[in-house]
Amino acid sequence: KKENWIAPSILSADFAQLGTDVKDVIAAGADVVHFDVMDNHYVPNLTIGPLVCESLKNFMVKEDVKAPIDVHLMVKPVDRLIGDFASAGADIITFHPEASEHIDRSLQLIKAEGCQAGLVFNPGTSLSYLEHVMDKIDMILIMSVNPGFGGQAFIPQALEKLKAARKMIDESGRDIRLEIDGGVKVENIAEVAAAGCDTFVSGSGIFGKANASDANRYDTVIQQM
Ligand code: DX5
Ligand code: ZN
């Protein structure tokens, strides 16, 4: 199992001050920026695209904020956005296998761009998609909510799925991160970790809990995680 990473989802950040929100949350101890891309087609919500990713990356370079950008594509089709996000500074790109016509090709496209690649599993999606591509992925993302919105309740069945994915990773002997996304809070992160997770996305649990008037507003919640 790899070193634990906290991955704040910027879906719950203040988009009017996205750069400073990201800078502050990384300074508070978070490890990776989780960047949720929704297309109003694969999921019933619309968020941000490569332009915002590029602006954020430029800001992070300028301000010396060192953290990978983990792009979670909730889009269909998948492939034509891969190059755009890689050029915009993505370090990790994950997608939902049922949203891609050719999963192996999408993974190859991500790797060819020099990014790490991962597959995302909705609460109702089978892990069997992994069977023939374990040697091509760097990350498995288990959704503990149905994708589309921040602030939803954690679906407990995700814990069993995490354990199953952990087993597959261990048996593969490969260096694959196991990420959870949806409803993760200070209150339940310990049991998520116990199920084998090493990368913890949290949106409302981090940005929603911060006290906006406090200069160190993310420190307490990140430290508790
Ligand atoms: C849901 C997104 C998540 C979401 C998590 O579709 O993929 O990353 O922002 O938000 P919380 O932590 O509030 O459930
Ligand atoms: Zn996400």
CATH of the domain at 131: 3.20.20.70
Cβ–Cβ < 8 Å for 99, 42: yes
Cβ(222)–Cβ(210) under 8 Å? no
Report the mean per-residue pLDDT for the chain.
96
Dump pLDDT digits (tens) for 147-199: 999 999 999 999 999 999 999 999 999 999 999 999 999 999 999 999 999 99
What is the C-alpha to C-alpha distance for residues 132 and 206, in angstroms, rounded to an integer?
A: 36
Query: Quick one: average pLDDT of 109-128?
Result: 98
Nearest ligand (C-alpha, residue 123): 1
pLDDT at 71 over 80: yes
List the residue whose alpha carbon is closest to atom 1 of ligand 1: 147
In the structure, what pLDDT confidence band is assigned to residue 212 with cuts at 50, 70 and 90?
low
CB 80 within 8 A of CB 49: no
The residues carrying an active-site annotation are 36, 181
**Is a pLDDT exceeding 70 seen at residue 211?**
no
- Give 99 Cα–ligand 2 centroid separation in angstroms: 15
Domain count, the chain: 1
Helix or strand or coil: residue 199?
strand
Query: What percent of the chain shows pLDDT beyond 90?
Result: 93
Cα–Cα dist 5/30, whole Å:
7
What confidence category does residue 209 fall into, taking pLDDT thresholds of 50, 70 and 90?
confident
* Secondary structure E strands in the chain: 5-8, 33-38, 69-74, 92-95, 116-121, 139-143, 177-181, 199-202
The minimum-distance atom of ligand 1 relative to the CA of 72 is 7
Residue 213 has pLDDT above 70, yes or no: no
Range of the structural domain that residue 193 is part of: 5-224
pLDDT score at 208: 87
Which of 15, 95, 145 has most ligand 1 atoms within 8 Å of its beta carbon, as the pocket-test mutant? 145
pLDDT of residue 175: 95
Mutate to test the pocket of ligand 1, among 11, 34, 75, 92 (most ligand atoms within 8 A of CB): 11
